[in-house]
Amino acid sequence: MNFSNSIDDLLTLLQSLTVTPYTAMLKLLVSFVLGAIIGFERQFRRHDAGMRTFTLICMGSTAAMLLSIWIPQSYPNFLNGDPGRIAAQVLTGIGFLGAGAIIQSHGSVHGLTTAACIWVMAVIGLTVGAGMYITAIITTIFTLIVLVSLESLEKRMWLDGVNKILSITCNTATPDLRTIRSIIENRNIFIVSLSYEQNYDKNIAVITFKVNVKAKSSYTELFNQIRSLGYISQIKLLA
């Protein structure tokens, strides 16, 4: 009987739209669990933003939403501002945290998935704070599916390419650009962009390709094939 009463009390707290210490504690607990689930997946894959980061983001967003609800509830005559802006500004502010997770290097961008997760986690936290538990749980499940299942699908469909910079130095100012490009494309490497620098005084040329390659590709055969042209002095592939 006591167990039944406890369940009824828990359901009452879950359905309550009034912010009390008990409802706030329950919502923060839910956001803690949901944030830890996504954070564990990121931590397991050795990303900088892990369980602590995602748990704090989710709980902080929930607390912001609780504050937005609590202000008009406690101060019904408060007419000098819109307390809803507290929750709204969470999504704007979280953008700065997401930007910190993105790394740009030599034309390649890393951390976009983690930045997107940070933004989604903030939305989930706000959703929990508003009492939309089912929506928050479903969003968390779908986020986990995207992070785990779709990554495997990308690899099977060969969509897991990364951008790199391929720099080729030639001992002639007039290299056969068409042949070099053909060699690269025949290795199933997608050329994103090309820059070409010629120095007639020194009789050298530098060809710089921005290419999209498979994450675990081997480049030995590619380099050997380019070197076989006879006038290649240096090949560099930068991440």
Name the percent of the chain lying above pLDDT 90: 21
pLDDT at position 138 is: 95
Contact between 43 and 1 under an 8 Å Cβ cutoff? The reply is no
Contact between 136 and 128 under an 8 Å Cβ cutoff? The reply is yes
pLDDT at position 109 is: 55
Q: Do 82 and 198 have their domain in common?
A: no
Q: Do 102 and 218 have their domain in common?
A: no
Q: Torsions phi, psi of 201, nearest 5?
A: -65, -45
Q: Is the pLDDT of residue 1 over 50?
A: no
Q: Do 134 and 181 have their domain in common?
A: no
Which of 197, 198, 213 is CA-nearest to residue 165? 213
Tell which phi-psi region holds residue 54, choosing left (phi > 0), alpha (psi between -120 and 50) or beta: alpha
Cα separation, 101 vs 50, whole angstroms:
11
Q: Structural domain tally of the chain?
A: 2
Q: Which domain holds residue 175?
A: 161-238
Domain end, chosen from 129, 156, 183, is at 156
Which amino acid would we find at residue 9? Answer: D
Tell me what the pLDDT averaged over the chain comes to. 81
Q: Is the pLDDT of residue 128 over 70?
A: yes
Q: How far is CA 35 from the centre of its chain?
A: 15
CATH of the domain at 224: 3.30.70.260
What is the DSSP secondary structure assignment for residue 168, as one 8-state letter? E
Which of 68, 55, 57, 56 is CA-nearest to residue 24? 68
CA atoms within 13 A on the CB side of 100: 9
Domain end, chosen from 131, 156, 181, is at 156
Q: Do 26 and 41 have their domain in common?
A: yes
Q: Do 70 and 9 have their domain in common?
A: yes
**Greater pLDDT, 151 or 120:** 120
**Greater pLDDT, 213 or 100:** 213
Q: Do 27 and 120 have their domain in common?
A: yes
Out of 39-48, 116-125, 212-221, pick the least confident. Answer: 212-221
Q: Do 152 and 194 have their domain in common?
A: no
Q: Do 175 and 90 have their domain in common?
A: no
The verdict on pTM exceeding 0.75 is no
pLDDT at position 106 is: 47
**pLDDT band at residue 156, thresholds of 50, 70 and 90?**
low
CA dihedral (164, 170, 174, 176) positive or negative = negative
Q: Do 106 and 202 have their domain in common?
A: no
Q: Is the pLDDT of residue 165 over 90?
A: no
Mean pLDDT, residues 70-93: 73
Q: Do 145 and 89 have their domain in common?
A: yes
Q: Do 165 and 143 have their domain in common?
A: no
Q: Do 96 and 131 have their domain in common?
A: yes
Domain end, chosen from 156, 174, 189, is at 156
Contact between 149 and 82 under an 8 Å Cβ cutoff? The reply is no
**Greater pLDDT, 72 or 80:** 72
